[in-house]
Structure 1
Amino acid sequence: MKILLVEEDSRIAAYLNQGLSEAGFCVDLRRDGNQGLHSALTEAYDLVVLDVMLPGLDGWDALGAIRRAGRDVPIMLLGTRDEVDDRVKGLDLGADDYLLKPVVFDEFLVRTRTLLRRGNPGEFGTMRLADLELDLLRRRVTRSGTRIDLTAKEFSLLELLLRRQGEVLPRSLIASQVWDMNFDSDTNVIDVAICRLRSKIDDPFDVKFIRTVRRMGYVLEGPECN
């Protein structure tokens, strides 16, 4: 899932960006209100996180412009004033949540997932393929009832493959969706990640789900397709 983070403070931005990325989210970081507004209006996001005090265009004005443009993406405001008036102002302008700085990441992550679940019903259910289950809310994976521990990137990779099962995904698409980077044919990061994922969800079991399509990419298929 893709999140737009608009935050001026470089320390806070790096802190939230790292935490969200490690939790498996794809993050676009913008440092001022004008850049943030442009991205919010021209790209698709599952959540927008807006600092109230931004250069160029403050968070209040950016929020109002996003709502006037008809965008119903969930929006969380980050503010420094614990004042009722600020919270009411944010809600009146169309914010879905208001979180006070300094941000405690565990609380921020819970609120983020709550907004994503509210804005995307069904996005945080359980995805299945035969005996493979992926619990999006608890970030757990099991196969034949056995718990499988995945890193954040492995989880995101498996989620992408499950959402588009039966479809051959080129390495360039996997790189952009999971790593938020342009694919470089000289790097083997995608192949290594697939290999590690296979070692956990395929190798210990008789039926294999991940298949390599030579010169094209990878596909996740059920046993009836193999």
Structure 2
Amino acid sequence: MKILIIEDEPSLGRFLEKGLQQAGYSITLSKDGIEGQNLAASGNFDLILLDLMLPGMNGFDILSNLRAFSISTPVIICSALSSTEQVVQGLDMGAVDYIKKPFDWDELLARIRVIQKKITHQESSILTINDLSLDIIGRKVSRGGKEIKLTAKEFILLEYLARNVNRIVSKNQIMEHVWDLDFDPGSNLVEVHMYQLRKKIDKEFEYPLIETVIGLGYTLKGIKS
């Protein structure tokens, strides 16, 4: 799940970014209203955590502009503005939730999980390719009935491959999706994580699922059910 955080307070922004990454989410952090709106308008995110008091453009204007252009990405407003009128305004403008600062960390995670469940409601939260099973909500993986422990980044990487089953994904695409980084030809970040993932997913099993396509990238092959 890719989350955009639009928050200008440096310490809170870093806290949210680190904590949500550790929880297994792919995070992009913006500290400016205009930049945040441009990122949100790309439509590349599953959820937006939106502050209201921002430099460049306030959160209400961002939300209004997104909905005016039919960008329906779920938005949770996270703000110190906590009057009933402000909460009602945010919800009426199209936010799916409103959490008042300071907030409890576990409560924020629970609210994010609610949105995640709604996003996956129309599709199964379990991805199955051959004998490989991914529980997207529970963040659990098994193959042939055997549970496999993955790091947060390994899970995001495997989920990305599974959602693109039988398609070749490039190193550049993986860097952008899993790490939100521009392509660096000299980096071996993808290769290292792919090596570790393949050791866990393929090594002890009868046949490999993940394949390297020389010069193009990687693919997870199988039948999705």
The TM-score, its normalising length taken from structure 1, stands at 0.90
CA contact (8 A) 2:33 2:56 kept: yes
- What's the counterpart of residue 46 of structure 2? 46
- What's the counterpart of residue 165 of structure 1? 165
SS at match of 1:106: helix
What is the Cα deviation at residue 120 of structure 1? 4.6
In structure 2, give the amino acid aligned to 1:84: T
Structure 1, unpaired ranges of 5+: none
- What's the counterpart of residue 125 of structure 1? 125
Structure 2, unpaired ranges of 5+: none
CA distance in 2, matches of 1:213, 1:14: 36
CA distance in 1, matches of 2:123, 2:214: 31
- What's the counterpart of residue 110 of structure 2? 110
What is the Cα deviation at residue 81 of structure 1? 4.0
Within a 5 Å distance, the mapping from 1:40-189 to structure 2 comes to 40-122=40-122, 125-189=125-189
CA distance in 2, matches of 1:119, 1:160: 16
What is the Cα deviation at residue 124 of structure 1? 6.1
SS at match of 1:71: coil
CA contact (8 A) 2:87 2:98 kept: yes
- What's the counterpart of residue 4 of structure 2? 4
SS at match of 1:103: coil
SS at match of 1:186: coil
CA distance in 1, matches of 2:87, 2:140: 35
How many residue pairs were aligned?
A: 223
1:26 aligns with 2:26: yes
Instruction: Summarize the Cα distance change of 1:129–1:119 in structure 2 as closer, same or farther, 3 Å threshold.
Output: closer
CA distance in 1, matches of 2:36, 2:180: 18
Instruction: Summarize the Cα distance change of 1:220–1:99 in structure 2 as closer, same or farther, 3 Å threshold.
Output: same
Q: CA RMSD, aligned part only? A: 1.9
Instruction: Summarize the Cα distance change of 1:179–1:83 in structure 2 as closer, same or farther, 3 Å threshold.
Output: same
